[in-house]
Chain A
Amino acid sequence: MSLKSNEFKQSTKDKKSNAHGGMFDTELFLSLSINIRYHVYFFLGDTVQKVRPPAKSDIFNNTVVNYPKVEEYDSSLAEKYSKHVSVYDYIPNFISNWCCVYNLLRHDKIIADRLRVSFLYEEQWFSVQWILVSGQLEIGIFTADEQFLQLSYTSEEYCRILHIAKHELRIGINVSDINDIDELCKEIRSQWLFETVSYISFVNCWDMNHKNVLSIISYLESFNNLTMLRVESKNMFHNLINTQGVRENPGKTIVYNVRQNVLELQLYTLRDVGYKAVVDLNRWEHLRCLLISGCEFIDLNSFSLPPHCKILKLRDVKYVVWWDQSSLLKQVNTQWISNGEIKRPTIGNDSGKEKEEEESQWFKLYVQVIQTYQPLNCIELYNIRRVKGNLILLKRLVMESRIKMPKETKLDSILLI
């Protein structure tokens, strides 16, 4: 944290900071090796702006952060980016502070380096998106949850920072009220930048009939590098992603070609997934990774995943119902269990028919356990409060940390096989 504030003081040339300790030596820091810088940036997270809007749960609290009053700032910026920042006008001095550091941040070497490192490590510390500002395409650096624009570059500037050519860019588009999708896509088309779009997110967008949704669906096929989709609301999930019970609805659903390209789906704040409903993702045939975040309830029994989907990530979920393995538990011979493991019965010298029988029973069970997880071979749980069910996990995957069970999660029981 202190590093970050130094960084601002450095750039804003605030004389006061020099009173405590020395000035932060930018050149020295940038000369350090990249993995040191990586770890520093890792802890800095996604904040580059001086201001940050409160978390959702704090929006209606009466205590608002007091930002210092700013006398001189470029008020034309507030006008220019009003789509992005005007909703925060209830926080005193928020917008003036935002404007005041905006131009400095654009020339901040450390931030440029952070973006570069993030690009090289393919980290998603920030959400980087195309935005259209007074008719010009710009690249906006948003916080990771995509709600808040911190600063933006023109595409030339951004490519210069990353030392790459324009067509190598991989950035996103957010389909919500902060963008006029139709205008944005027209501009992207006119500059032949379709292949730079790697993900589309529907964060803060839940109305299927919104004109932005209708226009993005008509443009989807043009983005030939589109590999990831992000959906926030239940409504969008059921209309665009979950193919269970969805009829052919040309112009309102995502077409086959696009679904074939998508390798990753991210689902946020859906409340409940699979509660008395089937989650059928089979039509996303090339899906590799599914992320579900910020839910109250997930029932894994109702999932039907496509054959290539190997990775399942669950984050910030209150209650997860694990695959039902109770019938498998009944087949477990109590003699096999030791140290929380279902051990394969050892065949000694007296390999009678009985023993062989037992071994084949064990293998049968083992195959059934594998089948419950098909096609997954990597399951990541993070900040899960409760997992219900008696789990039988594959030892091989747990040992290789391909199944990550956090310690703080409340569990019934775990057996490894």
Chain B
Amino acid sequence: MSRLESLLKELPTRTAHLYRSIWHRYTQWLETIPEVDTSDVKLTLSQKWVIKYIISHGDLANDPLPTCDAMIWFARALGLEDSEVLELQQWLHGLVKLLEFDYSNVNGFLEKISINLWNPNTDSLQSKHFKTCQDKLKLLLDFQWKFSTNISFEDRTTVSLRDLRCVMDSENGKCGLAHPRNPSFVLIPNFQSPFTCPVFTMAVYYYLRFHGVKKYYKGDGYQIIFSQFEHVPIIRGKSLDQYPRELTLGNWYPTIFKYCQLPYTKKNWFQVNPGWPQFPNSTDRQSVDSALEGHLAESDSLNTIGVPDFYIERLNRTKFEPCPQVQIRLFPTDLPSDVQPIFDLLNSVLVFNLPLLYRVFPTHDIFLDPSLKTPQNLGFITGTLPLDIKLQEHLLAQIIDKNGAVAELVPGMIKTD
């Protein structure tokens, strides 16, 4: 207890009362949970319960800082190991950032960039970089990925497709793509806004990348890649097994920001943005990782790969939803067992959202492929939309070059020149 006394000297009196009061309320809450033994300090102060406590109380979630500070103080005062205190501190600081961050300030960037990069007819984009839809989607995936996970460019280049784990938890109604190793992150499909959803972007991009479009451009093929190469980057550059160089993307980004008339700061998209929330560092959870070996992805009712679901949902700005059942197969079914679930998920997301894409951008490269022109597929694509087109109107209004179908969809917004 002497440690507590010496730490108490650092606290102003009123703050000490406040901490005592926070502790009192917290332990009272813990007592309502039968599985917690309150006599075990370590367990009492584990991030799992502290975080659960904060997010289950609305008033605390609005102003989490005093509670977090108090918990860190108690962790130090009650004699937890320094490493444990540090871990708790990192978690809680991440939590505060997460709870206090207001995405509405930056969402405009995501929407404007996304919809314009989906647009196949960008006539006023006089750039050699974006000749095909695949190039646009390549950049868009990098952008949306960074937006949803806030990981640095360098970390993005190290992620291999083979290390991705597919979360397919029908019991708790969850699906998504997880990367349990460093940098850890989880991407979940956003069915309300497919154009800003990195998983849908990835699905279309991967179709173009691996399958290709017959007569227009050749796909890389599926089988070769998975047997030959150790590292399969999420987006590929010149060579099959490498991420595009920083210089390349460093040229692409300002081009598209300029086209969209948005201010561009390189470090926001190439480095971890300290003002934005982040996924907790997975080196803190090595025990979790080792338990993960063998499992495809660990998911229970509250956590996915050891990250609380509300973290994932807030960073992805959407709720977890079960994977939709689809009839059509666009991705192969005979892939190695470790990557097959990923492509199953991509297939579902792709097929589910294709009718919407066709309605908005019927000239998109993907529809040039003969396999999408079979009567059965065509019937599906032109069939019922997965969601009301009206919900996408504010997004479509931000398109710079409004041609063809878009012009009809956004009446009154037609460019006269």
The answer, among B5, B15, B21, for a CB contact under 8 Å with A57, is B5
Q: A88-B17, A204-B13 are in contact. Are A56 and B8 (CB under 8 A)?
A: yes
Closest to B18 in A: A87
Chain A neighbourhood of B57, CB < 8 A = none
The answer, among B5, B13, B20, B23, for a CB contact under 8 Å with A147, is B13
Is B9 an interface residue, CB under 8 A from the partner? yes
Is B295 an interface residue, CB under 8 A from the partner? no
Closest to B4 in A: A60
B24→A89 contact, CB < 8 A: yes
The answer, among A60, A88, A89, A232, for a CB contact under 8 Å with B12, is A232
A 135-151 binary contact with B (CB < 8 Å = 1; else 0): 00000000001010000
A57→B8 contact, CB < 8 A: yes
Is A233 an interface residue, CB under 8 A from the partner? yes
B8→A59 contact, CB < 8 A: yes
Q: A57-B5, A60-B4 are in contact. Are A87 and B12 (CB under 8 A)?
A: no
Is A86 an interface residue, CB under 8 A from the partner? yes
Is A271 an interface residue, CB under 8 A from the partner? yes
A90→B8 contact, CB < 8 A: no
Q: Among A57, A60, A206, which residue has the most Cβ atoms of chain B within 10 A?
A: A60
A176→B20 contact, CB < 8 A: no
What is the bound-complex CA distance between A178 and B15, given in angstroms?
Answer: 11
Q: How many residue pairs at the A-B interface have CB separations less than 8 Å? A: 51
Chain B neighbourhood of A90, CB < 8 A = 20-21, 23-25
B 289-312 binary contact with A (CB < 8 Å = 1; else 0): 000000000000000000000000
Is A203 an interface residue, CB under 8 A from the partner? yes
A59→B5 contact, CB < 8 A: no
Within 8 A of A (CB), among B15-37: 15-18, 20-21, 23-25
Within 8 A of B (CB), among A183-219: 203-206
A60→B13 contact, CB < 8 A: no
B13→A145 contact, CB < 8 A: yes
The answer, among B12, B20, B24, for a CB contact under 8 Å with A203, is B12
Closest to A174 in B: B14
A 33-58 binary contact with B (CB < 8 Å = 1; else 0): 00000000000000000000100110
Within 8 A of B (CB), among A169-187: 176-178
A59→B20 contact, CB < 8 A: yes
Within the complex, what minimum Cβ distance (angstroms) separates B7 from chain A? 10
Within the complex, what minimum Cβ distance (angstroms) separates B28 from chain A? 9
What is the bound-complex CA distance between A88 and B17, given in angstroms?
Answer: 6
What is the bound-complex CA distance between A87 and B12, given in angstroms?
Answer: 13
What is the bound-complex CA distance between A53 and B23, given in angstroms?
Answer: 16
A86→B14 contact, CB < 8 A: no
A206→B12 contact, CB < 8 A: yes
The answer, among A60, A86, A271, for a CB contact under 8 Å with B20, is A60
A59→B16 contact, CB < 8 A: yes
Within the complex, what minimum Cβ distance (angstroms) separates A166 from chain B? 29
What is the bound-complex CA distance between A57 and B2, given in angstroms?
Answer: 11
Chain A neighbourhood of B13, CB < 8 A = 56, 145, 147, 204
What is the bound-complex CA distance between A86 and B18, given in angstroms?
Answer: 8
What is the bound-complex CA distance between A211 and B61, given in angstroms?
Answer: 20
What is the bound-complex CA distance between A56 and B8, given in angstroms?
Answer: 8
Within the complex, what minimum Cβ distance (angstroms) separates A390 from chain B? 31
Chain A neighbourhood of B9, CB < 8 A = 269, 271
Chain B neighbourhood of A145, CB < 8 A = 13
A87→B17 contact, CB < 8 A: yes
A87→B5 contact, CB < 8 A: no
Chain B neighbourhood of A89, CB < 8 A = 21, 24-25
B24→A56 contact, CB < 8 A: no
Q: Chain B: how many interface residues by the 8 Å CB criterion?
A: 17
Closest to A56 in B: B13
Closest to A233 in B: B12
Q: Among B9, B12, B14, B23, which residue has the most Cβ atoms of chain A within 10 A?
A: B14
What is the bound-complex CA distance between A266 and B9, given in angstroms?
Answer: 19
Within the complex, what minimum Cβ distance (angstroms) separates B31 from chain A? 14
Within the complex, what minimum Cβ distance (angstroms) separates A368 from chain B? 38
Chain B neighbourhood of A53, CB < 8 A = 17
Within the complex, what minimum Cβ distance (angstroms) separates B371 from chain A? 60
Within the complex, what minimum Cβ distance (angstroms) separates B245 from chain A? 40
Chain B neighbourhood of A232, CB < 8 A = 12
What is the bound-complex CA distance between A59 and B25, given in angstroms?
Answer: 15
B15→A204 contact, CB < 8 A: yes
Chain B neighbourhood of A86, CB < 8 A = 21
A87→B14 contact, CB < 8 A: yes
What is the bound-complex CA distance between A90 and B27, given in angstroms?
Answer: 11
Q: Among B5, B11, B13, B24, which residue has the most Cβ atoms of chain A within 10 A?
A: B13
A87→B21 contact, CB < 8 A: yes
Chain B neighbourhood of A147, CB < 8 A = 13-14, 17
Chain A neighbourhood of B14, CB < 8 A = 87, 147, 176-178, 204
Closest to A203 in B: B12
A60→B21 contact, CB < 8 A: no
Chain A neighbourhood of B12, CB < 8 A = 176, 203-206, 232-233, 269
What is the bound-complex CA distance between A271 and B12, given in angstroms?
Answer: 12
What is the bound-complex CA distance between A206 and B13, given in angstroms?
Answer: 12
Chain A neighbourhood of B20, CB < 8 A = 59-60, 87, 90
Chain B neighbourhood of A206, CB < 8 A = 12
What is the bound-complex CA distance between A147 and B18, given in angstroms?
Answer: 12
B4→A59 contact, CB < 8 A: no
What is the bound-complex CA distance between A224 and B318, given in angstroms?
Answer: 54
Chain B neighbourhood of A204, CB < 8 A = 12-15
The answer, among A59, A203, A271, for a CB contact under 8 Å with B17, is A59
Chain B neighbourhood of A88, CB < 8 A = 17, 21
Closest to B5 in A: A57
What is the bound-complex CA distance between A288 and B11, given in angstroms?
Answer: 29
Chain A neighbourhood of B5, CB < 8 A = 57
What is the bound-complex CA distance between A232 and B13, given in angstroms?
Answer: 10
What is the bound-complex CA distance between A176 and B21, given in angstroms?
Answer: 18
Closest to B16 in A: A59
What is the bound-complex CA distance between A88 and B24, given in angstroms?
Answer: 10
Chain B neighbourhood of A203, CB < 8 A = 12
Chain A neighbourhood of B21, CB < 8 A = 86-90
What is the bound-complex CA distance between A241 and B320, given in angstroms?
Answer: 53
Within the complex, what minimum Cβ distance (angstroms) separates A321 from chain B? 20
Within the complex, what minimum Cβ distance (angstroms) separates A274 from chain B? 18
What is the bound-complex CA distance between A399 and B9, given in angstroms?
Answer: 37
Within the complex, what minimum Cβ distance (angstroms) separates B41 from chain A? 14
What is the bound-complex CA distance between A271 and B16, given in angstroms?
Answer: 17
Within the complex, what minimum Cβ distance (angstroms) separates A158 from chain B? 23
- Listed in ascending order, the chain A residues whose CB lies under 8 Å from chain B are 53, 56-57, 59-60, 86-90, 145, 147, 176-178, 203-206, 232-233, 269, 271
- Listed in ascending order, the chain B residues whose CB lies under 8 Å from chain A are 4-5, 8-9, 11-18, 20-21, 23-25
Given contacts A56-B16, A87-B14, A176-B12, 11 further A-B contacts (CB under 8 A): A59-B16, A60-B16, A60-B20, A87-B20, A88-B17, A88-B21, A89-B24, A90-B25, A147-B17, A205-B12, A206-B12
Query: Can you spell out 19 A-B residue pairs with CB atoms less than 8 angstroms apart?
Result: A53-B17, A56-B13, A59-B8, A59-B16, A60-B8, A60-B16, A60-B20, A87-B14, A87-B17, A87-B18, A88-B21, A89-B24, A90-B21, A145-B13, A176-B14, A204-B13, A232-B12, A233-B12, A271-B9
Which A-B residue pairs are the 5 nearest by beta carbons?
Answer: A90-B24, A204-B12, A204-B14, A87-B17, A87-B18
